Amino acid sequence: MDWQALHERKRDRYENGAARLEPEQLVRMGNAAYASGLSLLMLGRAGAARAWLVRAAERWRESWEHATPTSWGRPIGTIKASLVADEDEQARRYAEWALGLGPAEAESPIGRYAATLALLVLGRWEDAARLAETVRGRDDFPPAVADALASIAAGDPAGYADAVARVVASFEAREEYLEDVPVADTALALHALARRRGLEVALPASSVLPG
């Protein structure tokens, strides 16, 4: 993978959207900024990556004003981008905002996923544990992600290590990625949460993870 070329393509796509800024462009710009940030992470350029990840979260947050009430991918994106960027204050701000949208009461597992991420960011471990259990064992939600959420909430290092390894393996087996960027971003976000929980577990070496 030519990560530099990929970053430049996504950067140009973002700038093209900014030049004709319209509401429908915001999600596309967020996606492009996120892809650019992930590409820079894979190049080992953490500082530059952080700026693009923050930008992605900002565009997704702005896009919510033009979204349907169940567009849970947008708050999920803001939280994940902030976590991968290691922006604690931003992550907490988006977590509080996301919870205010009512995802904990959502019928869909994606809504509950958004709420669980937010609760974990805020250190509300017991609340997160209860909600994580509601997405475990479902056919319409990735079991490895559900297990990782529950393990982080419970402070279970062995359970988390097993679950996050399966998350990474699922990304390695994929044929399609967001914006065609083969990076296990979910594992990176989960790992940031695990560190906040005090779980010192190394991510497995993988072609879909930085370094």
Q: The domain spanning residue 111 has which CATH number?
A: 1.25.40
**What is the total count of domains within the chain?**
1
**End-to-end CA distance of the chain, in Å?**
14
pLDDT by residue for the chain (211 residues), tens only, comes to 999 999 999 999 999 888 776 777 899 999 999 999 999 999 999 999 999 999 999 999 999 999 999 999 999 999 999 999 999 999 999 999 999 999 999 999 999 999 999 999 999 999 999 999 999 989 999 999 999 999 999 999 999 999 999 999 999 999 999 899 999 999 999 999 999 999 999 999 999 999 8
Looking at residue 5, its pLDDT comes to 97
Stated pTM of the model: 0.95
Whether residue 210 is contained in a domain is answered as: no
Whether residue 106 is contained in a domain is answered as: yes
Host domain of residue 128: 3-196
Whether residue 50 is contained in a domain is answered as: yes
Instruction: Please tell me what DSSP assigns to residue 202.
Output: P
- For 166, the enclosing helix (H) or strand (E) is helix 157-172
Whether residue 66 is contained in a domain is answered as: yes
Whether residue 205 is contained in a domain is answered as: no
Whether residue 201 is contained in a domain is answered as: no
Cα–Cα distance for residue pair 43/40, rounded to 1 Å? 5
Whether residue 209 is contained in a domain is answered as: no
Cα–Cα distance for residue pair 127/139, rounded to 1 Å? 23
Looking at residue 71, its pLDDT comes to 95
Whether residue 117 is contained in a domain is answered as: yes
Q: Is the Cβ–Cβ distance between 84 and 37 less than 8 Å?
A: yes
Say which residue the tokens 């997405």 belong to: 135
Cα–Cα distance for residue pair 125/148, rounded to 1 Å? 13
